[in-house]
Amino acid sequence: MKFSLYSKKNVLDEMQEQTLRKIGERGFCLMWGGLLAAMVIQLLTGNAEKAIGEWVVFMAGCVYTCVECVRNGLWDRHLSSSMGANAVYSLLAAVAVTVLWGLAYGYWMGAAFTGVSTGLLCFALLQFCAYLVKKNRKKLDDEPEEK
């Protein structure tokens, strides 16, 4: 009897593979949302300096996801990458940052400046990523099929 903990052969059928991918996606979303909530709560309770570990894990997940999506020419299955949509997403980020910083530190002028800066940076990065996604998608679509 042969005992193996790992097999290079995929032992799942297509339905099981799709179910496993959905579980992984939901798990990542749960981790991402949980880390974000933990960081927001720590910011609002004045313990933001203690959230460095959460911030590192959160940013590593975000950067990895963003780089891999751009590299593979993928944006999202529901959200648009148009300039108008990116402006709305950036505005939402600006408002969220303004409110969080205003509530956390009570200095609303500084919070407004931080929010506006975040919105502009977010818009620039979204536009740049959208450009790279479209460029990579075109490159991937133009590649000849493998024999």
Domain boundaries, the chain: 16-71, 76-147
Tell me what pLDDT residue 117 has: 96
Tell me what pLDDT residue 15 has: 85
List, for residues 94-119, the tens digit of each pLDDT value. 999 999 999 988 889 999 999 999 99
When pLDDT is cut at 50, 70 and 90, the band that residue 1 belongs to is low
When pLDDT is cut at 50, 70 and 90, the band that residue 122 belongs to is very high
CB of 102 closer than 8 Å to CB of 111: yes
What is the mean predicted confidence (pLDDT) over 72-82? Answer: 83
How far is 59 from 53, CA to CA, in rounded Å?
Answer: 10
Q: Round the average pLDDT of the chain to a whole number and report it.
A: 87
